[in-house]
Amino acid sequence: MDPAGAGKATAAAAAVCVTGAGGFIASWLVERLLAGGDYAVHGTVRDPSDPKNKHLRALDGAGERLRLFKADVLDYASVASTVAGCAGVFHVASPCPAAQPTNPEVELLAPAVAGTLNVLRACREAGVRRVVVVSSVGAVFMNPNPPEGPTMDEHCWSNEEYCRATENWYCLSKTLAEREAWAYAEKAGLDVVTVCPPLVFGPLLQPTVNTSSLFLIRYLKCDGVNAMDDRVRNMVDVRDVADALVLAYESPEAAGRYICSAHARKVSEMVSVVRSLHPSLNCANKFVQLVGDEKVFSTEKLQRLGWKFRTLEETLKDSVESYMFVQLVGDEKVFSSEKLQRLGWKFRMLEGMLKDSAESYMSAGILS
């Protein structure tokens, strides 16, 4: 498809493609690629003119070295057009729903696998030097027979049947897609590296809220009544993930899978850090210890490439301040309707509004 809003790449800038460029991880990856001045970036988005992509155009270097292409990873022709002329490709786009899909095969599994294969096919046809695929620890740890000990590494794989039995569709989608990526890479002789992050936090560049950020936000907007689960969770900063992806692409010795995880903490510990930074937030204060802490993931292999990560405090501080800036957390403002009331506008009592709403829901069968 035709690129939009692009300046011509400088002669010295090698072209690379980022799929799903407007997403949380991909936006920071684009920022990193542009910041160094070494790359011209082809970014796939569903609609280059959509205002939700304007944050990409605002990045330093975007005017000269960013081209947004209207492309869908399920449409091979559009992917092939975007990848053409690129030395490397970062496949980041993949469905990540906030709620359980009603039809996982159609909504999640098929798109994840077919999209990955389309990208890899296009890369082979274009003679791409290396493809870096964003997978997930969801493709690593979902297994009823995990290795002994608390730590998992790149040799571990999620069990597909176990994912189906437990209806963990996201983990299954990532497992199937990564398995297919490795099978295709071997058959086609394509240089593929995969990076597997856990929960990804950090400041938002994009105007939408991603699923992993919603995970953290729900602990920062607590009703004070319901107890929250207190499992150990693995997490990493989105900026450190972007750095890992660039490192995986640029390092000649990079090969195979890389787990990209920085910290393993109980949720209560995370919330305690946030509360110390922002005491005014209505953070969760009741926790229940559930069986089944997450395993801790080894990042020794990635660190041997030179990867470094931020402290948990820095990640949480920057995440929360980003959420507060766009008013996702913190006190809501009270709006004045004085001007409208001067026109004679009157409003219903809250009790009556809630009563009528509930009765309407009950008559429609939404509530019983």
Domain count across the chain: 2
> Does one domain contain both 15 and 104?
yes
Q: Domain of 367?
A: 336-368
Instruction: Report which of 221, 101, 106, 215 is spatially closest to residue 168, judged by C-alpha positions.
Output: 101
> Does one domain contain both 102 and 37?
yes
Rounded to an integer, what distance in angstroms lies between the CA atom of residue 368 and that of residue 349?
24
Does any domain span residue 17? Answer: yes
Does any domain span residue 36? Answer: yes
The answer to whether 197 touches 26, Cβ cutoff 8 Å, is no
Catalytic residue from among 8, 52, 174, 187: 174
> Does one domain contain both 48 and 114?
yes
> Does one domain contain both 73 and 161?
yes
pTM of the predicted protein model? 0.85
The answer to whether 119 touches 131, Cβ cutoff 8 Å, is yes
Catalytic: 54? no
Instruction: Print pLDDT tens along the chain (368 aa).
Output: 445 544 434 445 799 999 999 999 999 999 999 998 999 999 999 999 999 999 999 999 999 999 999 999 999 999 999 999 999 999 999 888 777 888 999 999 999 999 999 999 999 999 999 999 999 999 999 999 888 888 999 999 999 999 999 999 999 999 999 999 999 999 999 999 999 999 999 999 999 888 889 989 888 887 555 678 888 899 999 999 999 999 999 999 999 999 999 999 999 999 999 999 988 888 888 888 877 667 899 999 999 999 999 999 999 999 999 998 888 886 545 567 878 888 988 888 666 676 677 666 555 544 44
> Does one domain contain both 254 and 366?
no
> Does one domain contain both 367 and 244?
no
Does any domain span residue 150? Answer: yes
> Does one domain contain both 300 and 367?
no
Q: For the domain that residue 24 is a member of, what is the CATH number?
A: 3.40.50.720
Rounded to an integer, what distance in angstroms lies between the CA atom of residue 159 and that of residue 175?
8
